[in-house]
Amino acid sequence: MGMMEMVLKHPEELPALLKLQLASMQATRFLPPEPHWAFCYKMLQNVSRSFAIVIHQLGPELRNAICVFYLVLRGLDTVEDDMAIPIDTKVPILKAFHEHIYDTSWHFICGEKDYKDLMTGFHHVSTAFLSLAKGYQEVISEMTQRMGNGMAKFIEVEVETIADYDEYCHYVAGIVGLGLTRLFYAAGLEDFALDVLSNSMGLFLQKTNIIRDYLEDINEIPAPRMFWPREIWGRYGTALEVFKEEDRSEDALRCLNDMITNALKHGPECLQYMSALRDPAIFRFCAIPQVMAIGTLALCYNNIHVFRGVVKIRRGLTAKIMEGTKTMSDVYAAFDDFSGILAAKIDKSDPSAVLTQRYVDEIRTACKARFLNKTKRKTFSIESKTGHEICLVLAILLLALIMILIVWR
């Protein structure tokens, strides 16, 4: 959907979209004077623009620690993802990556575009890492070691069972949740007890990404890297590739819905984790990706386009989520809205329908039991709205452009 078409169909999202654009511009212009920190924040903006916007809302000390943590893990992930690296070269690097971050002379060129730039200038990340307080360094080093070892394990091991799937997602995302929680604790801002729930936060996000990225991953050259567990997809086909075929749409959708159902089981623990956060900036940092995830699952559920092209939440809705997620009540409302959208798409003849409904009911029950305002309100919508006056929209667009130009100057 083009920008103009999106605005015409969803003009109510334009104010949030404008605010997101302004925040992105401010994040882009933020470059500390030190060369290593300037490199880190420039790379952060290049490899994850939305993450950069949220991280800038954190206090300086924690912001720096999380920026470095993210870039270290992004570097590790770049090594894992580069299929041109021989396995006998890749595995030792993954296992020793936590040691390389202490060496300001180390770099390993791999990846493409911005990721290649990150790896080429990785000595800047190491320099920034060594400038952090010891407590932050210890957390980042430990989590990098655990993730690197886990990635190395799954380089030559197929994800066969759901247990394998959960283990892989723990290594590449659950450990991120754990590391972030310990960084929050090291900063003296959150409770260490959140450790026990942090894995679900990571798994919910990672499984959503794995589901959404089916087509991109299976078309990867020179060879696909897929993490859909055979224990799930094997119920519906002889190979993951068959779900791309148009005459296998019914099987593809049933497999997709089963995968989404597996992800939904983490929802209640994610809500529990977020409800325990105390710092407002940390809360938004954690909550916005989770709301994006439940929205993405609602969009992907029973959606054959997952196997045909790119399925993503439109930019306007992303902006509305980022602007509207400020309190736990906002999160409960969003989870309830998106779960309701997903529930409306459940086909009772689907093999996983009963379990899907159960997990949706658990999420919605948790949300409704904790609404500060007991009156349910519709917060988010995936569908397009029509019947809005185009002249009004164009006037708003013109005003938005003027505001951007004023701020930019």
Catalytic residue, chosen from 102, 192, 225, 278, is: 225
Averaged pLDDT, 12-39? 71
In this predicted structure, which of 3-12, 100-109, 247-256 has the lowest mean pLDDT?
3-12
Instruction: Map out the domains of the chain as residue ranges.
Output: 1-11+245-396, 31-189
Residue 407 has pLDDT above 70, yes or no: no
Catalytic residue, chosen from 69, 171, 184, 285, is: 285
Task: Note the pLDDT of residue 397.
Answer: 57
Task: Note the pLDDT of residue 385.
Answer: 47
Does residue 225 carry a catalytic annotation?
yes
Residue 386 has pLDDT above 50, yes or no: no
Catalytic residue, chosen from 115, 136, 165, 168, is: 168
In this predicted structure, which of 171-175, 207-211, 266-270, 318-322 has the lowest mean pLDDT?
318-322
Does residue 285 carry a catalytic annotation?
yes
Task: Note the pLDDT of residue 381.
Answer: 67
Task: Note the pLDDT of residue 133.
Answer: 97
Question: To which CATH superfamily is domain 1-11+245-396 assigned?
Answer: Farnesyl Diphosphate Synthase (1.10.600.10)
The secondary structure of the chain, three-state, reads CCHHHHHHHCHHHHHHHHHHHHHHHHHHHCCCCCHHHHHHHHHHHHHCHHHHHHHCCCCHHHHHHHHHHHHHHHHHHHHHHCCCCCHHHHHHHHHHHHHHCCCCCCCCCCCCHHHHHHHHCHHHHHHHHHCCCHHHHHHHHHHHHHHHHHHHHCCCCCCCCHHHHHHHHHHHHHHHHHHHHHHHHHCCCCCHHHHHHHHHHHHHHHHHHHHHCHHHHHCCCCCCCCCCCHHHHCCCCCCHHHHHCHHHHHHHHHHHHHHHHHHHCCHHHHHHHHHCCCCHHHHHHHHHHHHHHHHHHHHHCCCHHHHCCCCCCCHHHHHHHHHHCCCHHHHHHHHHHHHHHHHCCCCCCCCCHHHHHHHHHHHHHHHHCCCCCCCCCCCCCCCCCCCCCHHHHHHHHHHHHHHHHHHHC
Averaged pLDDT, 14-32? 64
Task: Note the pLDDT of residue 383.
Answer: 62
Tell me: the pLDDT tens digits for 254-303? 999 999 999 999 999 999 999 999 999 999 999 999 999 999 999 999 99
Tell me: the pLDDT tens digits for 228-237? 999 999 999 9
Reported as a pLDDT band with limits 50, 70 and 90, residue 16 is low
Architecture (CATH level 2) of domain 31-189: Orthogonal Bundle (1.10)
What is the pTM (predicted TM-score) of this model?
A: 0.87
Catalytic residue, chosen from 212, 284, 314, 364, is: 212
Reported as a pLDDT band with limits 50, 70 and 90, residue 318 is confident
